[in-house]
Chains A and B, each alone.
Chain A
């Protein structure tokens, strides 16, 4: 029966289906035995995800072309390509049901938990054979390592949060788009001037919903010189009830309530803010370079419309993505999977040149300041190739490139998602309550965070 508020079954549909599906799959497929995946001709077939959806025809075509080219150059490996990336809603069900791909996509927030729960294979003994593996930026590779130094995956993308801004609105507000704000005080001033344009224009927007508020507040606190969690005598403690935490929240509070430069609608998440930026109603928001192509594609804007600056302050939050391996995958599959990940994503400079040429032809963006996966000479060579084939206005990203080196990139705290849930509440209070008591908010949140951090092993 369906009826007034609650009688509706559809309200329950999403979580109930997901939980039931997970449980049913657990029941049905938990005992899938591992197979080497090698046929009688010595050909190993590996399932991989990360194939772009049909709604991205160019990216999908290029991906499938790559699969074909890879199989041609590696006749003993067959790729069973599947759509989708990391989806926490289906991950456990797929793993339980034996349906998880041999090589699966993850965000930097995932590896620590996956390693702790033994949901990824240890690839330490195979990684020495991977070309260019030794050139990968050690800071990025560290995300995929456990406390004993064992490796469980490879990074294939990275970002650090900066300040994405609308160049046209800067000009309209009498600001120089080539000299974007470099301090939070300048951000505040610029936001005020952009908001003063009226007609629903918002100077600066930030997230506060679905753990994204906590994610950005972490970056705010880093930028003010603080930390979200620190290790003391072997155990983790919340560290955001600090001068930096206070400053970050005060800045947000002042922009929201004193300057009225953050608009009236809050409880925003990434899609809302990208929409505001895409519709030309937003001056600035905290974002990594990967946001630019998303907005350009989704809202049919031009790359020249946007500029990117490094985050004000001393540090920013960095993240990224990569691939890990099914804990039930055979050694043959892991070796083949590593070969694929290296060939497709950690490209040699020669392949990077071929790929960049094709990307330029197809209008896939080249010239964004990140990802930078390698350290030293290999990255320098790749940067030269990108500069040669750039099809985006690289000058617009100069404020990011030039100052970003002075801004330390810090990784996400342990038990990040749980902490972000707690910090979401803090962010929401400051952005929705004019009389929010910042001291009490930080104190209460720190108490909750300490309980969450006590479980970190």
Chain B
């Protein structure tokens, strides 16, 4: 059978899939306009001095040099790293443990599931104000409880040592609901026979958890870990509302510094240079994430 020429094959393919291409084009245009173009433009701004009143001027690596000269630059990265690390300690273990406990419950599971998810539904600013009251060194809830237990009151947000831990606790409380639900779903997908077999072999709860649950959830745990690193490195609302970066710059994060450059000092060149660096770092983690998901697929 003779093969039709390439041009006519292409035309036929296009004609047959025209509607699909039109749908695809709408998505591509939207992404290009609202996602890709701002990203490219943002990266370019990092090499420019922009006032928006005059044409932008190319300044080469000047913005990056100024950024590296800023003593807060290193502080912000260190603080962000510290927050990410603490968030892994608290925030990674907490939803997993909660999910395992919820999964084992026989009664009130749906009610508790909803309770765990409830903080996610609160607007962030409400969460922050609520926790500000919890942390208040005077009439705050936490110090009140410590007082009842005859323990010394703490300067939750005012102490350099405690401030970051306090922010991580807020963040964990506010966001763990979604991850808990993901883990619950993953737990539900583990074949019951595996547990039955383990029980027949005389495995204890701890052994079942370690030899069945964790290996079965390894992939989902790895993915949430990566997403959590990507997410926590972008921490902003907590330090912005609760500490303003204090005390003594102990909670200045990369995004808070970026915000200051852009909207307090009106220096969009510096802000864009900073966001480009953040983009590169997060891009590395995103690359690992993509590789992992592709391998699994």
- List A residues at the B interface (Cβ < 8 Å): 1-16, 18-20, 22-24, 26-27, 30, 88-89, 91-92, 95-96, 113, 117-119, 200, 208-211, 263-267, 269, 327-328, 417-418, 421, 424-425, 428-429, 431-433, 448, 451
**Do A425 and B248 have beta carbons less than 8 Å apart?**
yes
**B167-199 vs A, Cβ < 8 Å mask (1 yes, 0 no):** 010011011101100100000000000000000
Which 8 A-B residue pairings sit nearest by Cβ, starting from the closest? A6-B232, A6-B231, A3-B179, A209-B244, A4-B91, A5-B87, A5-B91, A5-B171
**Do B138 and A4 have beta carbons less than 8 Å apart?**
no
Q: Which of chain B's residues have a CB closer than 8 A to the CB of A210?
A: 244
Q: Which of chain B's residues have a CB closer than 8 A to the CB of A89?
A: 263
**Do A96 and B52 have beta carbons less than 8 Å apart?**
yes
Tell me, in angstroms, the Cα distance from A6 to B246 when the chains sit together. 20
Enumerate B206-250 residues with CB–CB distance to A below 8 Å.
224, 227-238, 240, 242-249
**Do B237 and A10 have beta carbons less than 8 Å apart?**
yes
Q: Which of chain A's residues have a CB closer than 8 A to the CB of B34?
A: 20, 24
Q: Which of chain B's residues have a CB closer than 8 A to the CB of A431?
A: 158, 247
**Do B52 and A2 have beta carbons less than 8 Å apart?**
no
Min C-beta distance of B259 to chain A, whole Å: 5
Tell me whether A1 and B275 are in contact in the complex, defined as CB-CB below 8 angstroms, given that A6-B171, A15-B255, A92-B52 are known contacts: no
| B41 touches A (CB below 8 Å) | yes
| B45 touches A (CB below 8 Å) | yes
Interface centre among A7, A118, A200 (most CB of B within 10 A): A7
Q: Which of chain B's residues have a CB closer than 8 A to the CB of A8?
A: 171, 174-175, 178, 231
**Do A19 and B42 have beta carbons less than 8 Å apart?**
yes
**Do B175 and A23 have beta carbons less than 8 Å apart?**
no
Tell me whether A432 and B158 are in contact in the complex, defined as CB-CB below 8 angstroms, given that A3-B228, A4-B175 are known contacts: yes
**Do A27 and B38 have beta carbons less than 8 Å apart?**
yes
Tell me whether A6 and B230 are in contact in the complex, defined as CB-CB below 8 angstroms, given that A88-B264, A113-B266, A119-B51 are known contacts: yes
With an 8 Å Cβ cutoff, the count of chain B residues facing the other chain is 79
**Do A5 and B155 have beta carbons less than 8 Å apart?**
no
**Do B53 and A7 have beta carbons less than 8 Å apart?**
no
**Do A95 and B52 have beta carbons less than 8 Å apart?**
yes
Q: Which of chain B's residues have a CB closer than 8 A to the CB of A265?
A: 136-138, 158
Min C-beta distance of B239 to chain A, whole Å: 10
Tell me, in angstroms, the Cα distance from A266 to B69 when the chains sit together. 30
**Do A23 and B45 have beta carbons less than 8 Å apart?**
yes
**Do B244 and A14 have beta carbons less than 8 Å apart?**
no
20 residue pairs bridging A and B, Cβ less than 8 Å apart: A1-B182, A4-B95, A4-B171, A5-B231, A6-B175, A6-B229, A6-B230, A7-B230, A11-B171, A24-B34, A92-B266, A92-B268, A117-B54, A117-B266, A119-B52, A209-B245, A267-B246, A267-B247, A425-B249, A432-B248
Interface centre among B45, B54, B182, B234 (most CB of A within 10 A): B234
Min C-beta distance of B255 to chain A, whole Å: 6
Min C-beta distance of B209 to chain A, whole Å: 19
Min C-beta distance of B226 to chain A, whole Å: 10
From the candidates B37, B175, B240, name the one contacting A5 in the complex (CB within 8 A): B175
Tell me, in angstroms, the Cα distance from A23 to B33 when the chains sit together. 11
Min C-beta distance of A374 to chain B, whole Å: 31
Min C-beta distance of B88 to chain A, whole Å: 8
Tell me whether A7 and B178 are in contact in the complex, defined as CB-CB below 8 angstroms, given that A19-B42, A418-B265 are known contacts: yes
Tell me, in angstroms, the Cα distance from A291 to B54 when the chains sit together. 37
**B72-93 vs A, Cβ < 8 Å mask (1 yes, 0 no):** 0000000000011001001110
Tell me whether A14 and B236 are in contact in the complex, defined as CB-CB below 8 angstroms, given that A4-B172, A5-B231, A432-B248 are known contacts: yes
Considering the complex, give the chain A residue whose CB is closest to the CB of B143: A264
Q: Which of chain A's residues have a CB closer than 8 A to the CB of B41?
A: 23, 26-27
Considering the complex, give the chain B residue whose CB is closest to the CB of A209: B244
Tell me, in angstroms, the Cα distance from A436 to B248 when the chains sit together. 11
Considering the complex, give the chain B residue whose CB is closest to the CB of A444: B71
Tell me whether A5 and B228 are in contact in the complex, defined as CB-CB below 8 angstroms, given that A19-B262, A26-B41, A265-B158 are known contacts: yes
Considering the complex, give the chain B residue whose CB is closest to the CB of A97: B52
Q: Which of chain B's residues have a CB closer than 8 A to the CB of A211?
A: 264
From the candidates A88, A208, A264, A328, name the one contacting B246 in the complex (CB within 8 A): A208
Tell me, in angstroms, the Cα distance from A16 to B231 when the chains sit together. 13
